[in-house]
Amino acid sequence: MEKGQNYLVGIFNDEDVLLKAVRQVREKGVKIFEVYTPFPVHGLEDELGYKKTRLPIAAFLFGLTGTILALTMQMWMLGVDWPMIIGGKDFVSLPPFIPVTFELTVLISAFGMVGTFMVVSDLKPYKDPNLFDKRSTDDKHVMAINLGNNSLASDDIKSILSDVGAEEVNETQR
Amino acid sequence: MTEEKYIFQAATKKKLVIVGIVGILLFVAGIVLFPGAEHHGEEHALISVENTDLVASSDETPAATEGHDAHAEEAHHGSSTLVKNIYSNLWVNNVYFAGLAIIGLFFIAIQYAAQAGWSAGIKRVPLAMATWLPIAGVLMLVSWFVVGHDVFHWTHLDLFKEGSDTFDKIINAKKGMWYWPLTDNPSAIPVFFIGRMVLFFGVWYLFFVWIKKQMLAEDLNGGVVHWKKARTLSAVFLVFFGYSSSIAAWDWVMSIDTHWFSTMFGWYVFASWWVTGLSVIALIVVMLKEAGYMKIVNSNHIHDLGKFIFGFSIFWTYIWFSQFMLIYYANIPEETVYFIERLSSSNYVWIFFLNLILNFLLPFLLLMTRDAKRHMSMIKVVTPIIIVGHWFDFYLMVTPGVMQNKGGFGLMEIGMFLIFAVVFLFVTLSNLAKVPLIAKNHPMLEESLDHHI
């Protein structure tokens, strides 16, 4: 997030009002920076027009990495570096490798997904949460609008927000 | 919107009849073209060679050889290869379609027991599938007496007679399970075994009738009292099903390979039935939706069905692999014989790997993304793959035990499957048309309408 931008913050009490408000505000050509809610609101991401997440693709690639890593590791360990006869099987035999391969696939795709998510969402330890309004962690929904991204005047957006049911509209800078 | 009734149209019936006739033609063609029908004499030699091979390849402990020597299965074999082929084919379809029926009821029962709301709009489809249950029971019972010795080796009484040439130590140790009470009368039936079959189908059918009664009464009266009664019935049914489905799997499938046993088998058959049943439910729902019915079902419900199919395809693979790897690693001849039979014959080895491709690899890759599970077109691609794939799964459980290395896959198998499928669909769809398609008074219908994932 760039510093020194001016934001309008609309506070909503009810999620149904919020959903309708998001649609109406976007229909009027106002770009919404972000909406913060204390609990998941079904359908909000559709109303906000979010692009589909690409996290599953990352997960698949991480999983594939895990699979390949696990198989090459076991083949090298038990086939090349230190061949051992176990149960009279070949040095490199697939079935006993499957459980380890499965576990590493799951482990690496899970770790990779969490890591990717944290990077993409700009989450890290000791991060300043940068809340527009503290009540979004308790009982209010918060809609933030970056004035720098919108051509409409601040007062016009303010009146739009009040019209669609915002309880209060504040202006902040951060 | 909520008053909807399926009409089993004449055009649909006609299509089904045509498929059925094609099935009969293929079946007859399969019999006429059956390879080597005239070479009956050579059969003995062939099988005994194969048997020696088997013993030799798994001959690592003297005890195992003793068990296999004593078994002398081929001394008994009565019917010709063609008849045996038809019998094993009949048994595969019996078990497969009986599974679809019981999964219909099982699906409803877990929805009630889990108090699930999303499925409120589609419950009539599995309910219609479960109407096949009594037919499956009668078919299974009748076919058991028809296929008799040819499929179930343990039905030979002399196997249990100590001192006789064909006495089999391993099978004799299982006589409490298979042949109880044991008599000298050769025409006696295994009362305990048949009793179990009758009991399972009887109790399953009773629960089906009771749960269906509550579901239909709910349409008329509304309220939550019927839903609560159905939930109680479902919970009791699930406890019974947990035991009976396992025992049914040992009785109807595992006992064909009489010497062999696997402690995973109950789960294995259940997993196979369950994912097939889910695919059939999803396919029927999608087809109904495309025909203009079930408007309250949207991509969220399809997504849930897709997740079910995706998850339980992996579950099936997990069970398959658990069974395979323990046997592979322990390398005990009594156990490995099952996989040697299936991997050493060119008749089965391609099915062995096809099974894994159709039932794991394809569903896993095709249904992995969220969009794939939400789009009806993808569900229409994946579910037939699974439905056919698990037929091969059951084929691979039954046929090698019956036919040894002489089982094949051809027109006869396709024909019989089509005949069974058409009759099954006829029963399902005509029963679906008898009741309202949507449970309009279901207490969770509203939740299902608003379902969003």
pLDDT on residue B343: 94
Closest-CA residue in chain A for B314? A102
Q: Residue B285: is its pLDDT beyond 80? A: yes
pLDDT on residue B59: 39
CA atoms of A52 and B286, how far apart (whole Å): 25
B368, B370, B452 ranked by CB distance to A43: nearest = B452
Residue pair B410/B30 in contact (Cβ under 8 Å)? The answer is yes
**Chain A residues in contact with chain B using a Cβ-Cβ cutoff of 8 Å:** 42-43, 56, 60, 87-89, 95-96, 98-99
pLDDT on residue B78: 66
Task: Judge: A43–B370 Cβ closer than 8 Å, yes or no.
Answer: no
- pLDDT-based confidence at residue B61 (cuts at 50, 70, 90): very low
CA atoms of B279 and B321, how far apart (whole Å): 21
Mean pLDDT of B327-350: 92
More confident residue, A88 or B73: A88
Q: Can you list the alpha helix ranges (DSSP code H) found in A39-172?
A: 44-47, 55-75, 94-120, 154-163
Closest-CA residue in chain A for B451? A42
| Å between B370 CA and nearest CA of chain A | 9
- pLDDT-based confidence at residue B41 (cuts at 50, 70, 90): very low
Q: Residue B276: is its pLDDT beyond 90? A: yes
Task: Judge: A60–B324 Cβ closer than 8 Å, yes or no.
Answer: no
| Å between A83 CA and nearest CA of chain B | 17
Say which range, A95-99, A129-133, B197-201, has the weakest mean pLDDT. A129-133
Long-range pairs for B380-386: beta carbons < 8 A, 24 or more residues apart: B380/B283, B380/B286, B382/B279, B382/B309, B383/B279, B383/B280, B383/B282, B383/B283, B383/B286, B383/B309, B384/B279, B384/B283, B385/B358, B386/B275, B386/B276, B386/B279, B386/B309, B386/B313, B386/B358, B386/B359
Closest-CA residue in chain B for A41? B452
Task: Judge: A96–B325 Cβ closer than 8 Å, yes or no.
Answer: yes
pLDDT on residue B363: 97
Residue pair B150/B79 in contact (Cβ under 8 Å)? The answer is yes
**Chain B residues in contact with chain A using a Cβ-Cβ cutoff of 8 Å:** 321, 324-325, 328-331, 368-370, 452
pLDDT on residue B2: 60
Q: What is residue B117's DSSP assignment?
A: S
Residue pair B309/B383 in contact (Cβ under 8 Å)? The answer is yes
A43, A60, A96 ranked by CB distance to B329: nearest = A96
User: Who contacts B347 (Cβ-Cβ below 8 Å, separation ≥6)?
Assistant: B405, B406, B407, B408, B409
pTM for the model stands at 0.88
Task: Judge: B331–A87 Cβ closer than 8 Å, yes or no.
Answer: yes
User: Who contacts A107 (Cβ-Cβ below 8 Å, separation ≥6)?
Assistant: A66
Percent of chain A with pLDDT over 90: 61
Residue pair B101/B132 in contact (Cβ under 8 Å)? The answer is yes
Closest-CA residue in chain B for A44? B452
CA atoms of B175 and B194, how far apart (whole Å): 14
Amino acid type, B25: L
Task: Judge: B329–A88 Cβ closer than 8 Å, yes or no.
Answer: no
| Å between A138 CA and nearest CA of chain B | 24
Say which range, A69-83, B68-82, B388-402, has the weakest mean pLDDT. B68-82
Amino acid type, B428: T
pLDDT on residue B37: 52
List CB contacts (< 8 A) between A89 and chain B.
Answer: 329
Task: Judge: B368–A60 Cβ closer than 8 Å, yes or no.
Answer: yes
List CB contacts (< 8 A) between B361 and chain A.
Answer: none
List CB contacts (< 8 A) between B452 and chain A.
Answer: 42-43
A43, A88, A95 ranked by CB distance to B325: nearest = A95
- pLDDT-based confidence at residue B112 (cuts at 50, 70, 90): very high
List CB contacts (< 8 A) between A60 and chain B.
Answer: 368
Closest-CA residue in chain A for B370? A56
List CB contacts (< 8 A) between B368 and chain A.
Answer: 56, 60
Task: Judge: A95–B324 Cβ closer than 8 Å, yes or no.
Answer: yes
Closest-CA residue in chain B for A55? B369
- pLDDT-based confidence at residue B70 (cuts at 50, 70, 90): very low
| Å between B398 CA and nearest CA of chain A | 24
Say which range, A105-109, A115-119, A131-135, B133-137, has the weakest mean pLDDT. A131-135
pLDDT on residue B54: 45
Instruction: Map tokens 């009470």 to a residue.
Output: B181
CA atoms of B417 and B90, how far apart (whole Å): 9
| Å between A23 CA and nearest CA of chain B | 18
CA B196 to chain centre: 17
Residue pLDDT, tens place only, B390-428: 999 999 999 999 998 888 898 999 999 999 999 999 999
List CB contacts (< 8 A) between B318 and chain A.
Answer: none
Q: How far apart are the first and last CA of chain A?
A: 9
List CB contacts (< 8 A) between B369 and chain A.
Answer: 56
Mean pLDDT of B194-218: 96
CA atoms of A124 and A19, how far apart (whole Å): 30
Nearest to B140 by CA among B202, B219, B182, B71: B202
- pLDDT-based confidence at residue B36 (cuts at 50, 70, 90): low
Burial of A116 (0-12, 13-18, 19+ CB in 10 A): middle
Q: Are strands A168-173 and A141-146 parallel, antiparallel or unpaired?
A: unpaired
Q: Residue B39: is its pLDDT beyond 80? A: no
The pair of structure tokens assigned to B125 is 């489809």
Using only the alpha carbons of chain A, give its radius of gyration. 25
Task: Judge: B452–A95 Cβ closer than 8 Å, yes or no.
Answer: no
| Å between A8 CA and nearest CA of chain B | 30
pLDDT on residue B383: 97
CA atoms of A144 and B357, how far apart (whole Å): 50
Q: Which of B60, B328, B336 is the mutation pick for testing A, counting most A CBs within 10 A?
A: B328
Task: Judge: A42–B370 Cβ closer than 8 Å, yes or no.
Answer: no
B331, B368, B369 ranked by CB distance to A88: nearest = B331
List CB contacts (< 8 A) between B331 and chain A.
Answer: 87-88
pLDDT on residue B340: 93
Give me the phi and psi of A3, to 5 degrees please: -85, 160
CA atoms of B38 and A137, how far apart (whole Å): 82
Q: Residue B7: is its pLDDT beyond 50? A: yes
Q: Which of A15, A16, A42, A57 is the mutation pick for testing B, counting most B CBs within 10 A?
A: A42
pLDDT on residue B176: 87
pLDDT on residue A2: 63
Q: Helix (H, G, I), strand (E, B), or coil: what is residue A142? A: strand
Q: What is the DSSP string of B46-100?
A: HHHHHHHHHHHHT--SHHHHHHHHHH-GGGT--S-HHHHHHHHHHHHHHHHHHHH
| Å between B336 CA and nearest CA of chain A | 14
Q: Are strands A168-173 and A34-36 parallel, antiparallel or unpaired?
A: unpaired
More confident residue, A174 or B294: B294
List CB contacts (< 8 A) between A54 and chain B.
Answer: none
Say which range, B40-54, B75-89, B201-215, has the weakest mean pLDDT. B40-54
* Ranges assigned E (strand) in B363-439: none
**Phi-psi domain of B115 (left: phi exceeds 0; alpha: psi -120 through 50; beta: other):** left
Using only the alpha carbons of chain B, give its radius of gyration. 23
| Å between B446 CA and nearest CA of chain A | 16
Mean pLDDT of B140-160: 91
